[in-house]
């Protein structure tokens, strides 16, 4: 069983109550020791050396100010934002300033915990060059993970290839659908989600915990993070 000391300290910056949605009790059960601060009072100095990650529960203007000033001082800090009602431009803005992941209150607790864990691993990796490697050969339509070939059907190959060519950048659902299925395909189809799910499973099965992550950007699309 997890204890509060297992996962370390998580700084939770809370917005106005009507904008919150994170199940804090579930985070405590997962082993996190929570330190909770209202966003209007939060400052970069509140991120102590013992802080393993920062979670914004809701996002108001004070939260934006806290994010900008904190990530300017600590660009590698693992920060996750859970908020509802953000426009695509705002979500992209969050990721551009260094937020590791954006979720919304409908995100399941287990997925949120997994995203926090992934953000921590990414931030704590001592040398990015020692991380996973993905290589592609368009002529053979083959992709290798850490030197081993991935068994990818045609559509999964095409989806992953587009993400690899734009690693770290957000690719909208429409753009992925157009690139893989062509301009006449219905963008509301679940085909893309099915392919992404299969790609994630294959990467995880073959690469383990250090596998590249195909991250969902709610309401926008996907991005590949190495």
49 and 111 co-located in one domain = yes
Do 219 and 158 belong together in one domain?
Answer: yes
How many C-alpha atoms does 11 have within 13 Å on its Cβ side?
Answer: 26
Counting residues of the chain whose pLDDT is more than 90, the rounded percentage is 42
Looking up residue 143, the CATH number of its domain turns out to be 1.10.10.10
Q: Which CATH number fits the domain that encloses residue 30? A: 3.40.50.280
Express each pLDDT in 151-167 by its tens digit.
999 999 999 999 998 88
Q: What are 192-212's pLDDT values in tens digits?
A: 999 999 999 999 898 887 788
Q: Of 77, 92, 124, which residue constitutes the final position of a domain? A: 124
Out of 100, 124, 148, a domain closes at: 124
Query: Which band of pLDDT confidence, cut at 50, 70 and 90, is reported for residue 1?
Result: very low
Work out how many domains the chain is built from and give that number. Answer: 2
Residues 110 and 136 in one domain: no
Mean pLDDT of 11-30: 93
Residues 98 and 134 both lie in one domain: no
Among residues 124, 156, 189, which one ends one of the domains? 124
203 HSE (CA, 13 A, CB side): 24
Q: Which residues of 141-173 are buried (b: 16+ CB within 10 A; e: fewer)?
A: eebebeeeebebeebbbbbbbbbeeeeeebbbb
Kindly report whether the global pTM for this prediction surpasses the value 0.85. no
**8 and 120 belong to one structural domain:** yes
Q: How confident is the model at residue 3 (pLDDT cuts 50, 70, 90)?
A: very low
Average pLDDT rounded to a whole number, residues 5-30: 88
Domain identity same for 26 and 94: yes
Q: Round the average pLDDT of the chain to a whole number and report it.
A: 86
Residues 162 and 208 in one domain: yes
Residue closest to 190 by CA, chosen among 201, 176, 200, 209: 176
Q: Give residue-wise pLDDT tens across range 58-112.
A: 999 999 999 999 999 999 899 999 998 888 788 878 888 889 888 888 877 887 8
Q: Are residues 69 and 108 in the same domain?
A: yes
Domain assignment of residue 38, given as a range: 4-124
Is 132 found in the same domain as 120? no
At residue 66's C-alpha, the angle toward residues 60 and 69, to 5°, is 140
Question: Could you tell me if 116 and 142 lie in one domain?
Answer: no
Same domain for 119 and 27, yes or no, is yes
112/133 same-domain check: no
Q: 185 falls in which pLDDT band (50, 70, 90)? A: confident
The pLDDT of residue 44: 95
Residues 95, 169 contacting (CB under 8 angstroms): no
């Amino acid at each position: 069983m997890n204890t509060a000391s297992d996962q370390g300290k998580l700084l939770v910056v809370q917005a106005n109550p009507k904008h919150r949605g994170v199940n804090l009790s579930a985070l405590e059960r997962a082993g996190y020791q929570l330190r909770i601060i209202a966003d209007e009072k939060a400052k970069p100095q509140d991120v102590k050396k013992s802080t393993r990650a920062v979670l914004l529960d809701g996002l108001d203007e004070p939260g934006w100010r806290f994010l900008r000033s904190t990530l300017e001082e600590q660009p590698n800090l693992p920060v996750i934002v859970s908020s509802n009602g953000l426009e695509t431009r705002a979500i992209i803005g969050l990721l551009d300033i260094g937020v590791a992941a954006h979720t919304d209150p409908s995100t399941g607790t287990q997925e949120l915990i997994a995203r926090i864990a992934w953000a921590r691993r990414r931030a704590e990796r001592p040398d990015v060059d020692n991380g996973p490697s993905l290589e592609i050969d368009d002529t053979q339509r083959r992709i290798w993970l850490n030197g081993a070939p991935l068994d990818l059907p045609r559509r999964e190959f095409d989806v992953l290839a587009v993400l690899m060519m734009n690693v770290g950048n957000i690719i909208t659902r429409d753009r992925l659908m157009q690139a893989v299925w062509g301009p006449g395909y219905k963008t509301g189809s679940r085909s893309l989600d099915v392919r992404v799910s299969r790609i994630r499973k294959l990467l995880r099965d073959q690469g383990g915990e250090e596998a590249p992550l195909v991250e969902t950007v709610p309401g926008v699309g996907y991005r590949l993070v190495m």
